[in-house]
Amino acid sequence: MLRNAPKFYEVAKRIVEITENCILVAHNAQFDYRILGTEFRRLGFEYERKSLCTVELAKGLIPDQPSYSLGKLVRSLGIPVTDRHRASGDALATVKLFKMLLDKDTTKQIIQNSVRLNPKYQLEPRHIDIIAELPSITGVYYIHKADGEIIYIGKSNNIKKRLNQHFTNTNQKSKKIQSKVTAVTYEATGSELVALLKESEEIKKVKPIYNRALRRSIFTHALYVFKDENGYLNLKIDVADGRKKPITTFSNRQSGKSFITKVVEDYNLCQKLAGIYKTKTNCFNYDIKNCEGACIQKESPESYNKRVEALIEKNSYSNKNMVIVDRGREVDERSAILIENGVFKGIGFFNLNYQINNLEVLESIITPMQNNRDTQHIIQNYLRRNKRLKIVELENQKSN
């Protein structure tokens, strides 16, 4: 029945248009609204409408019914239903039920009191006050309970919107946060990378009660390199192992597979030696002339390994002295992420290029932070996703 139905993204714009400035009426509105919200969020759109639930209204206006399921309720009220359990049939039945409820509502309580932005998701007054004070900026936020203790640390590109989600979500963690929150403080970062690094560092130091997930490593897989018996550099995506030194890391196996598939194409590498085509002979790319033949030792190890080394150089900042320059908190400000000899040193903000071109001055504006496997993953992952970031390579200018 769904085989020829349109995908959600094909009808999303029309749904937005026909519900603009309208109140959504649904039988068990919480369910329908949640489904719509979830589907729109997948498209990167926050869908917000006022809504009414005919289940709740019917319980108040037509009490003592044996069941408030749509089918049984409309049957007991003598409302005809055609095409039951199909979208159009159920929608028309809900329309008829709602008209009846409006007729029964002689005091107009439906109009006055029952319109809700989101059924059963009402914000408490103190939550509304907290959100009103928050900006729609990129940064790190801290949720405090009454004695000032931080119970949750998070980062967002829109702090106000993210806190609104915390206060309206109905999962167990959100409910606990909602019951204990007294205040929210925040720190602007401008840069998402700075926010990610600060969040990781501070969760490890403060250990907030509701941040258990981020206390563990935030990546599961890594890219490793080894030389085979013929002298060729081989690549392998594998489960992250703290005893080995990875080229780069990934949040999950699929992310690693996508990366290796792309670099095989970008660097004209051999599928067999990259670990994505198991064969005892040549790889598929050799058949279609996209591989130079390293898989059957037709291309020399020296020639092939140069391209692998270029890939490693591009995706690892091992032994490098550099500054990653990203957005700042103000228009004329930039953020700086300092890496010395392949080690992440910390973050800072600057207004003048002189400040990052002089290593001694740069180190004075940097806030020192821990270098660990998580920070390496965050930086490498961010560099992969943001190809246009400005990177300043540093020469060691410190005087002896």
Say how many C-beta atoms besides its own lie within 10 A of residue 342's C-beta: 14
- The domains of the chain are located at 8-113, 125-215, 221-315, 322-393
Please say whether the structural domain 8-113 has been given the CATH code 3.40.50.720. no
Contact criterion met (CB below 8 Å) for 336 and 324: yes
Predicted pLDDT of residue 112: 52
Residue 48 scores a pLDDT above 90? no
- Residues with Cβ < 8 Å from 337, sequence gap 6 or more? 193, 194, 197, 323, 324, 326, 344, 346, 347, 379
| Residue at 161: amino acid letter | K
For residues 43-57, one letter each, b for 16 or more C-beta atoms within 10 angstroms of the residue's C-beta and e for the rest, the string is: eeeebebbbbbbbbb
Find the mean pLDDT for residues 238-260. 85
Partners of residue 186 on adjacent β-strands: 141
Residue 190 to residue 156: CA distance in whole angstroms: 10
- Residues with Cβ < 8 Å from 297, sequence gap 6 or more? 230
Average pLDDT taken over every residue of the chain: 85
Residue 188 scores a pLDDT above 70? yes
Predicted pLDDT of residue 400: 34
Helix axes 301-315, 373-385, angle to 10 degrees: 100
Structure token digits, residue 379:
């930086």
Predicted pLDDT of residue 57: 87
Range with the poorest average pLDDT among 147-156, 167-176, 242-251, 352-361: 352-361
Helix axes 159-168, 172-180, angle to 10 degrees: 100
Residue 302 scores a pLDDT above 70? yes
Residue 384 to residue 345: CA distance in whole angstroms: 20
C-alpha distances out from residue 267 to 253, 283, 284, Å = 21, 16, 16
Structure token digits, residue 32:
């329908």
Q: What CATH number labels 125-215?
A: 3.40.1440.10
Question: Which residue spans within the chain are E strands per DSSP?
Answer: 23-26, 50-53, 139-144, 150-156, 183-188, 221-227, 233-239, 248-250, 322-327, 334-340, 343-350, 367-368, 390-393
Find the mean pLDDT for residues 86-113. 74
Would you place residue 269 in the very low, low, confident or very high pLDDT band (cuts 50, 70, 90)?
Answer: very high
Range with the poorest average pLDDT among 93-97, 136-140, 211-215, 335-339: 211-215
Residue 60 scores a pLDDT above 90? no
Find the mean pLDDT for residues 213-225. 73
Residue 318 scores a pLDDT above 80? no
Task: Specify the 3-state DSSP secondary structure of 77.
Answer: coil
Q: What is the pLDDT of residues 137-182, one digit of tens each?
A: 999 999 988 878 889 999 999 999 999 999 988 888 889 999 999 8
Residue 51 scores a pLDDT above 80? yes
Predicted pLDDT of residue 312: 86
Contact criterion met (CB below 8 Å) for 250 and 260: no
